[in-house]
Amino acid sequence: MSKIAKKDTRPKTTDVTLTKGSTFEDFGLKRDLLLGIFEAGFEKPSPIQEEVIPIALTGRDILARAKNGTGKTGSFVIPALQQVKNSNEIQSLILVPTRELALQTAQVVKTLGKHLNVQVMVSTGGTSLRDDIVRLHDPVHILVGTPGRILDLASRNVADLSNCGLFIMDEADKMLSREFERIVDQILQFLPQNHQSILVSATFPLSVKNFLEKNLKKPFEVNLMNELTLKGISQYYAFVEEKQKLHCLNTLFSKLQINQAIIFCNSTNRVELLAKKITELGYSCYYSHARMPQKDRNKVFQDFRAGKVRNLVCSDLLTRGIDIQAVNVVINFDFPKTAETYLHRIGRSGRFGHLGLAINLINYQDRYSVYKIEQELGTEIKPIPATIDKSLYVAPNDEGAEISQPQQPVQKPAQTQQTQQSQPQQPQSQPQQPQPQQPQPQPQSQQQPNQPQFQPQFQQFNHYQYQQPPSQFSGHPPQFPNQQYPPGQF
């Protein structure tokens, strides 16, 4: 017998609660699809689902814009499942920009369509092309993938898209960037002329206008972005020097009630170095970036989603669409340069109208970026107070969180600190087993003995400090106070 998800009793913002009163039954969906929707814990459609689903079921092209974490994935997955027919052809193609988002979207399709006998396939770069070719010999109804691999399969006549009636692009602004636009144009040549298109994103820059005019037929436009930043996410900055950032991060860990946290850096090297430092401080931490092998990225993503680790350090790889309900804190260890990146980063917390907290560690070089982002988003990033009210980011009855206890630092034994450069710490329950020496400790080795051993060796360094070239500024951005914050205080 199917297990029904627990009711989510956490408070939600009007981003997802301010609806017209429609229910999923009002859309005329299949009974088995409704069963999967309710078993997944969906109670009623969010505003974006309420607008998109009934129009999508009529076959009209749609251009939908809504905030991160407001149910955009469900708004196109439900129509795709409703329109699946009893044939062995690819009937829906869902394009996404990253492999992690492809896996997550496919899982949503499987969860909602569990009673429909729908065959879903994920195909992304970095995985075995031969396995994908073999898989496509069996029936596939909904194909989820990244543009490069989908084009490869279609060009080889392995993926037959000639009867694919529904074309969906999630994170469409990224998909129509210079990186992907030409590939997407080529993929569209393999689809029938009368296919339906659904484009969904939080932002639509003017640069995509030509593509929309050429490929969409009088699209129905849904715009639920009256304000850009998410309600329910409290935003603060801590003005610190580069060499003080790690002290500041350590203090945040000790003071904040973190269910799970995502920490963003601007480069892959800084991701690895910071993950190492966090682990040395005694906190559980994984890292992920685009240079890692795909199977290792999948392992990290799955373990973090399952709650096996509390903190994840990553690059902008995971800023798009990743939905992990237990994440209530996002920390920008390196402040982003654009408003679009900032918006997608902080959107990893406060998912589906829940509460979240965004902390930005900034220095003098970041002052103009902060000013520009505040102006573009029409928001205010406030100075961090000495104490942050827990009610701003912790729900009173946080039943939906996968990790219920606040984060606690773990002090390392003295002997470990003296020998950590010669060999990694081993579980104390097995001291009698000799361990081979390694030149550098792995970032995950201090927390759980069964963690994956795929992390690369770290570079030698003496202190966690980076030199950044001075930036050139025009105009008069606001000056931050010259007050120096002692380590561990704000």
On the question of pLDDT at 234 being above 60, the answer is yes
* Rounded CA separation 145/198 (Å): 15
| pLDDT > 80? residue 97 | yes
Domain at 233-419: CATH code: 3.40.50.300
Greater confidence, 16 or 464? 16
pLDDT: which is higher, 18 or 466: 18
pLDDT tens per residue, range 156-170: 999 999 999 999 998
Q: What is each CA distance from 130 to 152, 160, 237, in whole angstroms?
A: 12, 16, 48
Give yes or no for residue 220 having a pLDDT over 80.
yes
pLDDT at 182 over 80: yes
Please, what is the average pLDDT of the chain? 76
Q: How far apart are CA 275 and CA 359, in angstroms?
A: 18
The listed CATH number (3.40.50.300, 3.40.50.12240, 3.40.50.720, 3.40.50.2300) that belongs to domain 14-223: 3.40.50.300
- Predicted confidence at residue 452, as pLDDT, reads 37
Please report which confidence band the pLDDT of residue 173 belongs to, taking 50, 70 and 90 as the band edges: confident
Residues 6 or more apart whose CB falls under 8 angstroms from that of 137 comprise none
| pLDDT confidence bin for 69, thresholds 50/70/90 | low
The highest-confidence range among 219-233, 288-302, 348-362, 464-478, by mean pLDDT, is 288-302
**Residues sharing a CB contact under 8 Å with residue 150, sequence separation 6 or more, in sequence order:** 93, 95, 123, 143, 159, 187
In the chain, list all ranges with CATH 3.40.50.300.
14-223, 233-419
451 and 425 in contact (C-beta within 8 Å)? no
Of 69, 57, 51, which is closest to residue 10 (Cα–Cα)? 69
Residue 485 binned pLDDT confidence (cut-offs 50, 70, 90):
very low
Max mean pLDDT range (266-275, 353-362, 407-416): 266-275
How do residues 98-138 score in pLDDT, each as one tens digit? 888 898 899 999 999 999 989 999 999 888 899 999 999 99
**Would you state the pLDDT for residue 230?**
61
